[in-house]
Amino acid sequence: MVQTFNGLQLGVMLFLMAAGLTLVLGIMDFVNLAHGSLLMVGAYVASTITGWTGSFLLGLAAALPAAFLAGVLLEVAVLRHFYDRGHLEQVLATFGLILFFNEAVRLIWGPAALFFDPPSALRGQVEILPGAPYPAFRLAIIVVGLAVALALYLVIARTRVGMRIRAGASNRDIAQALGLDIGRLFAVVFGAGAALAGLAGVILGPITNVEPGMGDPVLILAFVVIIIGGIGSVRGAFAAALLVGLVDTLGRAFLPILLRLVLNPSNADAAGPALASMLIYLLMAAILFFRPHGLFPARTG
């Protein structure tokens, strides 16, 4: 039961990363491997500001605009020139950006991992079930993640901007022909996506350490989420994020135990963790086998 909460927490975390990424992919057909670097920027800025002021909230307040700015800057300076290129060049360029950002962070902050605490109000435990205490900060992550998801849903489903985003995601050419300023729309979406990644970084900071390359494993998982959910679909990203979070967590917790029933313990101990790591990729391959465009394909044309 508590493991379900863990899965949920990983899920909303992934959703924060995947939401921005899936829209960028859906609208501009742009592969941004450097999205994980924005998470890193958010975490580093939050860690530095929190370290100076001692206030987590100030750290958060500084990190979101910083990630937003970094995103917009990146978009204007580099990424913009790659929209009309193929996926290949986009992959190459943003792969280069990852290397640059990881090493630049090491130059500025040094190679040692940084560390900052969650706000003091969230440092304790909350009893979610009798006898099952749960870290308050992780509970807060779930709440924030669900709130962001709800807000995103409302923006996309109910507002004019949202309507444009939906139009852009489902068929770019037609949307453009109808007079939609795709360029501006994209800048907005990109900035928002960057800020969400920054938020993910701030949230991740107190749990794991803040270090160069910290965004890369999350990025790969976020891509898995997007693919499972269907490119361009925020709804799909949300469902897939929760699915991946649950499968990964429950797999890690229970697969080794299950394997012990069929294999001898020493083999099970060796194979269990590795198979658990494979599980989400297996899930993705299986889903794509039956639904080549993901669970909720957004693109029609």
Partner 1 sequence: MRRGTGFGIAIAGVLAATATAVALPAAAQEKLKIGFITTLSGPQGVIGKHMKDSLDLAMEHLGGKVGGLETEVVIGDDQQKPDVGLDVANKMLKSDRVQFVTGVIWSNVLMAIVGPVTRETFLLSSNAGPSPLAGKECHENFFAVSWQNDQTPEAMGKYMSEAGVSDVYAIAPNYQAGKDMLTGFKRTFKGKVVEEMYVKLGQQDYQTELTQVRAANPKAVFVFLPGGMGINFLKQYEQAGLRQQFPLYNVYTTDGTTLPAVKEAALGVRSTQTWVATLANPVNRRYVEDFRKKFNYIPSFYGAQTYDTFMLLDAALKKAGGKISDKKAIREALRTVEAPNTRGSLKFNTNHFPIQNFYLQEVVQDTEGNFTLQVKGVVFSAHGDAYAKDCKMAP
Partner 2 sequence: MIGDRRRLDWTLLVLFAGVPGAALALDEPYLLDLFARVLIFAIAAVSLDLILGYGGLVSFGHAAFLGIGGYAVGMLYQHDLGSGFLQFPVAVLVSGVAALAIGWVSLRTGGLYFIMITLAFAQMLYYLGISLKVYGGDDGMRARRSEFFAPIDLNDQTQFYYLALAVLALSLWLGRRLVNSRFGLALQGARSNERRLRVLGVPVFRYRLTAFVIAGALCGLAGALFANLNEYASPSTMHWTRSGELIVMVILGGVGTLTGPVLGALAFVLLESYLSEALEALASGFGQHWQVVFGPLLVAVALFARGGLVGLLRPGRGE
Binding-site ranges for partner 2 (CB under 8 A) = 25, 31, 78, 81-82, 85, 87-93, 95-104, 106-107, 220, 223-224, 227, 231, 267, 270-271, 273-275, 277-278, 281-282, 284-285, 288-289, 292-294
Q: Which is nearer to partner 2, 17 or 31 (CB)?
A: 31
Name the binder of 223 from partner 1, partner 2, none, CB < 5-8 A by kind.
partner 2
Residue placing its CB nearer to partner 2 in the complex, 29 or 117: 29
- Residue 195 CB, shortest distance to partner 2, in Å, is 23
**Side chain identity, residue 262:** V
In the Cβ-directed half-sphere of 84, how many Cα atoms lie within 13 Å?
2
CB of 115 to partner 1, least distance (A): 4
DSSP structure class, residue 110: -
DSSP character at residue 210: B
- Neighbour count for residue 83 (Cβ, 10 Å): 14
In angstroms, give the least distance from the CB of 98 to partner 2: 7
Residue 129 binds which entry of partner 2, partner 1, none, with Cβ cut-offs from 5 to 8 Å by kind? none
**In whole angstroms, how close is the CB of 150 to partner 2 at the nearest point?**
27
Beta bridge partners, 277, equal none
155 binds, among partner 1, partner 2, none (CB under 5 to 8 A by kind): none
> Given the rule CB under 8 A, which residues bind partner 1?
2-3, 6, 9-10, 103, 106, 110-115, 118, 123-125, 132-133, 135, 137-138, 206-209, 211-214, 217, 249, 252-253, 256, 269-270, 272-274, 276-277
Which of 37, 39, 41, 40 minimizes the C-alpha distance to 93?
A: 37
Q: Which is nearer to partner 1, 73 or 113 (CB)?
A: 113
d(CA 170, CA 301): 7
> Is residue 279 within 8 Å of residue 271, measured between CB atoms?
no
Strand, coil or helix: 86? coil
Nearest residue (CB) to partner 2, 118 versus 294: 294
Our CA angle for 213, 141, 156, nearest 5°, is 90
**Residue 297 CB neighbour total at 10 angstroms:** 16
53 binds, among partner 1, partner 2, none (CB under 5 to 8 A by kind): none
* Closest CB to partner 2 among residues 98, 142: 98
**Token reading at 284:** 């993705």
Helix (H) or strand (E) holding 134: strand 132-135
